[in-house]
Amino acid sequence: MISELSQNPVENKALPLQFMMVTGTSGSGKTQALKCLEDLGFFCVDNLPPALFQKFTELCAQPGKDVKKVALGIDIRERAFFDDLLSNLEALQAHGSQVELLFLEAQDDILVRRFSESRRPHPLLPQRPVIEGIQLERERLQALRSRAHRVLDTSAFSVHDLKAWMIRHYQESSEEQALKVSLLSFGYKFGVPVDVDLVFDVRFLRNPHFVPDLQPLTGEYPEIQQFVLENQEGKDFLGHLRDLFAFLLPLFEREQRNYLTIAFGCTGGRHRSVAMVLSMKDILKTLGYDVTLRHREIKSEQVET
């Protein structure tokens, strides 16, 4: 549930900086919201003292700085900082900064359950029942809540729901939203890469290593690609993979995945896996995906777009 409680953020011509503040009750999803903004290209800082807001904004707006969107996480655990928050927020707006304040909250029973599941005490009253900390926090945050441009109730939200909401409201329409796929070839004899999402073993394909004329070449050569894949097994495998990824990749996109790394491995990482990655690049591009390549065991051209 979302409500609009205040006027739109002040338009700013002098400082073309999108300035977001994320605050709200503990357990409402502030940390996750800040992570989402970071994924959307915001420069994120958590618990910056309000007295430094203006100086921080000036630094971000300096010529040559590649900072266009800033998000600050505001927490009330540092009470001395919080007392200065509203005055410093007004000072930012008075100097023409474009500021939007997003306030997250949730129902009491939901917050109690979330604290219970995480086994954390409430940060305001760690020695008291959680509900007492929640009530005290609501009182302290009332003035800030009344100044918010958006108030979002996350009671019914999962982590995925919150991310989808943040993307819907704060991703620029011009930004690329399609899933970006990275293809990696590797050799099992040198170890399986750990920074991948999906791994396919292609050691069942014909191996050009045992053909004297082909052994010195790599999978980047047409002769290797033809030897490995232009047979019934190779053609069938590519066809099955195309059907699999036509089904699978939209599901990853539905879960708001931005990047996916798919690895293909053969024994040495120079022939079959390289040929597979190059063929999969063409297949995924026909499906409409942005694809990058890396051949881990080849010393020459390591990255291709």
d(CA 242, CA 250): 13
Q: Looking at residue 305, what is its pLDDT?
A: 35
d(CA 287, CA 252): 14
**Contact present, 65 and 190 (Cβ < 8 Å):** no
**Contact present, 59 and 7 (Cβ < 8 Å):** no
Evaluate whether the domain defined by 2-170 bears CATH number 3.40.50.1970. Answer: no
| Rg over CA atoms, the chain | 26
Question: What is the end-to-end Cα distance of the chain in Å, rounded?
Answer: 42
Beta bridge partners of 45: 72
d(CA 275, CA 260): 20
Reading phi first (left if > 0) and then psi (alpha if -120 to 50, else beta), residue 88 is in alpha
Query: Residue 178: helix, strand or coil by DSSP?
Result: coil
Q: Is the pTM of this model over 0.75?
A: no
Q: Looking at residue 288, what is its pLDDT?
A: 86
Q: Which residues contact 20 (CB under 8 A, 6 or more apart)?
A: 37, 42, 69, 70, 71, 72, 99, 100, 102, 170
Q: Looking at residue 80, what is its pLDDT?
A: 57
d(CA 176, CA 290): 10
Q: Which residues contact 43 (CB under 8 A, 6 or more apart)?
A: 60, 67, 69, 70, 71
Beta-sheet strand order (sheet of 2-3) = 2-3, 150-153, 98-105, 18-24, 69-73, 43-46
Q: How far is CA 235 from CA 143, 219, 240, 253, 280, in A?
A: 65, 16, 9, 27, 12
Domain boundaries, the chain: 2-170, 180-304
Structure tokens at 23: 């605050």
Burial of 202 (0-12, 13-18, 19+ CB in 10 A): buried
**Contact present, 105 and 25 (Cβ < 8 Å):** yes
pLDDT in tens, the chain (305 residues): 555 544 444 333 444 567 888 999 999 999 999 999 988 888 888 888 877 877 887 787 777 667 778 888 887 765 555 667 777 777 777 766 678 889 999 999 999 999 888 888 888 888 899 899 999 999 988 888 888 889 999 998 888 788 878 887 887 754 555 688 999 999 999 999 988 899 999 999 999 999 999 999 999 999 999 999 999 999 999 999 999 999 999 888 877 677 899 999 999 999 999 999 999 999 999 888 889 999 999 864 443 43
